Structures are given as C-alpha cells and as structure tokens.
Amino acid sequence: MIRNYLKVALKVLSRRKFFTFISLFGIGITLMVLLVATAMLDYVFAARTPEVHADRMLGVYQLTMQGKDDTETAPPGYAFLDRYVRPMAKLPSVERVALVSGAQTAVSYLNGRKIQSALRRADGEFWRVLAFDFVEGGPYTVADDEAGRFVAVISETTRERFFGGQPAVGRTIEADGQRFRVVGVVRDVPVLRFSSSADLWVPVTTAKTSAYKEEWLSGFYALILARSHADLPQVKAEFQSRLREAEKHLPDPKTFQHLYTGADTLFEGAARMFLPAGGAVADPGARLRAALLALMLGFMLLPTINLVNINLSRILDRASEIGVRRAFGASSRTLAGQLLIENLVLTLIGAAVGLILALGVLRAFNVSGLIPQTHFELNFRIFFYGLAIAVFFGLFSGVYPAWRMSKLHPVQALRGRSA
C-alpha cells in the first residue's frame, strides 16, 4: 500500500511541476534557515572542545542584585564566587570548580604594530574543568595562580600573530603592559564558546589590582564540573541554598536585599543572559526553548499556509481519484493517511533540498570568516533535527487538507466536486 502511495505521490508532484517547484522552494528555504540556525545553536551549546563535559557542567554566568529601588544584573564578581561557589568543590557530587573572567580586550605592541587580543584571567582549575587541545606545552597550575606567576597559555592564532607560527613556549608575550611567559599553546576556540574562548589566558592573580577580590558584581564566571549528569539537579539545589546564605551577607544590604541567579548549563546560561530579567528567572532554559520553538513555528507558518493551499487545490484536482478510492473501500482515515504520506514525501524531498542549501550556506559562513575561529558543520545530530523538523512540517501542513479530503463525500467526489 505504502509503495502505491509513494508512486502516486511522486506522480502527483510531477503532474504540476510549477506548484511542486514553488512548494519545494518554500520548504527548502525554510528548512535551510532552520538547519543553519540549528547548526549554529549546536555549535554553541553542544559538548565539544574545550567543553567536552558540557553534559555535566554548570556555570554561574550572571548575578542579579535586587533592592526596593534598584536592580543590578551583571556577571558575578570574584568575591561572591570565591566565597559561595568555589567551596562547592568539596561536595561529593562536585568534581571541580573553576573561576574565570569574561574576555577583555588586551592591547599589545609588536614592532610598532598594535595588536588587540581577547584575554581571560582564569585560575588553575580552569584547565582541569575544560579540556583544551594543547598543540605545544601545557596549562599553568593552581600553584602558578596562587603564586601570582606571570605565565600564559595562548591560542594558535596568537602564536601566529606574535611569533610567526614558531614555537612559543618559554618565550615572552606582552599584553596590557604586562609580560607573561608562554607555557602552552592551544588550538583556537571559537568566540561562540562564551565561557572559554580567548586569545590568551593568564592567572587571575596577575590582575593589576586586587580590587576584584572584593567585588560581588564584575566580570567573572564560575564553572562547576559535577561528577555525573545525574548530579546536576542536586548541584543546582545546593547552589540555590548557598545563594540564600549569601543574601544574608550582601555588601550593601541597604541598597540590595535579594540575589537571583542559577547554576546553569551552557544553554540555560545563554538564556539567562539574553532574556529580559533573566537573572530572576527560575528556569531560563525552558523559556528560551519555548521562545525558539515559537520562532520556529512562526517562521514555518508562511510556507505551511502555502502548502496547505496547494494541497487543498490538489484535492479538487484529484476528486475523481478520491471518489474511486472511497468506492473501492478506502475509509476516511485511510485516505487521510494517504495524503499525509504524500505530503511527507514532498517535505522530505524539500528537506533534502534544504540540507544541500544549508551545507552551501554553512560552507560560505566558514570561508567568509564572519565569525572568527568558527567552523560550522552538519553532523548526524543536526541531520536528525532537520529530519524531525521536516516530518513535523509535513504533518503540520498536511493535517487540515487530509481532514478535508477525508470528509469529501464519495458521490460528490466522483462528480468531480471538492465540497
């Protein structure tokens, strides 16, 4: 039966070539955009170097301090993280905790040439929570950080810029007027990895002043590596209890009385940063997922309406066939199933078109260097998402016409009428 349906579906598509082209074009472009967006989201949030343990990693990326008249939201400060998050490393469910600053622009001068680099200050644990791909040397240690040694890990691009691609370990690099001895070189990390990417990483303790040690709101993140994915809810709950404790010791209790944030996955962390009032949202991930889903559905609405219309006009075209099938024993439900299958065939062909277009667009993105150190790709997971979107699209646009088709009276259909 399915073979016959497929045969009919392909014949019907080839019968009205222009409409088929319009349909495939609409589906293809829609799915291409969704696939490209999915590939980008996957690139930002999926477990990949250096966040290979993303499935069991949480971060504190934002902190909201709220009072009666004032609210401030920013990445948390070192003082807050050092006092309330770093000690979580002693919990049985937590393997390690690392503190790292956001990327800041550091200026260097080399042979009269100004070079701007993204610099992060990170503790020694940072290198053990994340798994960077070292091409030369190795990371600096917890002891290096505690001792305030001026050492640095640099990216391959930085090595290229400063040392012409020659071995860099043991050599000195200057940034923002400070000189660091290079101890390691890592493969470039795309800027989209917002908690780890940089051009050079140096110990926290090499900061020019120690003012950061007293700040509750500044530019630091905490990365918490749980023992397993199953431990994440427990770690999140423990973080919330520590947040309540921290509320009792706020530095300026007259202005601020409440603290809001969460220990978040990469996706939740991004959601908290982008959503309005993200700091106070209990589950920002769910909100962002809902927003992305709504965006996706909205984006699919126009091609869906187009496809629904084309399907409805096809019913008129095929009234006689529908009447014959009804006369020879097809129930309403069977006919509806047939139209859905036909629609799925169309959307899957559209998906293949979308996949080819998406490959082209991603390749163009990669070649253009629009987003530095980024190499988007379509992997099996994204292909699966694309397939799921196409199937959903096929069902979404096929249900109403299929329902109309199934309600067609056989006698009317045999007379060539669709209603």
Partner 1 sequence: MIHLQQVSKLYRTDRVETTALDNINLEIGKGEFVSVMGPSGCGKSTLLNLMGLLDEPSSGRVALDGKAIDRYGDRALSRVRNERIGFIFQQFHLVPDLSVADNVEIPLLYRRMSNRERRKAALAALDRVGLGSRTHHFPTQLSGGQQQRVAIARAIVGRPNILLADEPTGNLDSQMGDEIMGILEDLNQKEGTTIVMVTHDPRMADKTHRVVRLFDGRQVQ
- Interacting residues with partner 1 (CB under 8 A): 1, 3-4, 7-8, 11-12, 15, 320-321, 323-334, 409-411, 414
Separation between Cα atoms, residue 351 and residue 405, nearest integer Å:
25
For partner 1, the closer of residues 332 and 373 by Cβ is: 332
Residues 6+ apart with CB under 8 A from 382: 35, 38, 39, 42
- Cβ of residue 322: shortest distance to partner 1, in angstroms? 10
Q: Which is nearer to partner 1, 206 or 332 (CB)?
A: 332
Among 60, 44, 41, 46, residue whose Cα is nearest residue 269: 60
Q: How far is the CB of 407 from partner 1 (least distance, A)?
A: 10
* 242 alpha-carbon distance from chain centroid: 28
Q: Which is nearer to partner 1, 14 or 111 (CB)?
A: 14
8 Å CB contact between 45 and 234: no
Q: Which is nearer to partner 1, 11 or 381 (CB)?
A: 11
Candidates 317, 294, 121, 310; CA nearest to 219 is 121
CA-to-CA distance for 94 and 56, rounded, in angstroms? Answer: 10
CA 63 – CA 59 distance, rounded (Å): 11
Beta-strand ranges (E) seen in 187-340 are 200-203, 220-226, 258-260
Give the nearest distance from C-beta 341 to partner 1 in angstroms. Answer: 12
Q: How far is the CB of 360 from partner 1 (least distance, A)?
A: 33
* Closest to partner 1 by CB, 270 or 322: 322
Rounded distance, CA 7 to CA 18, Å? 19
* Least Cβ distance, residue 8 to partner 1 (angstroms): 6
CB of 331 to partner 1, least distance (A): 4
Closest CA to 201 of 107, 299, 126, 281: 126
Q: Would you give the distance in Å from CA 414 to the centre of its chain?
A: 52
Task: Report the chain's terminal Cα–Cα distance, integer Å.
Answer: 27
We find the least distance from the C-beta atom of residue 236 to partner 1, in angstroms, to be 51
Give whichever of 297 and 316 is closer to partner 1, judged by the CB atom. 316
- Of 364 and 419, the one with the shorter C-beta distance to partner 1 is 419
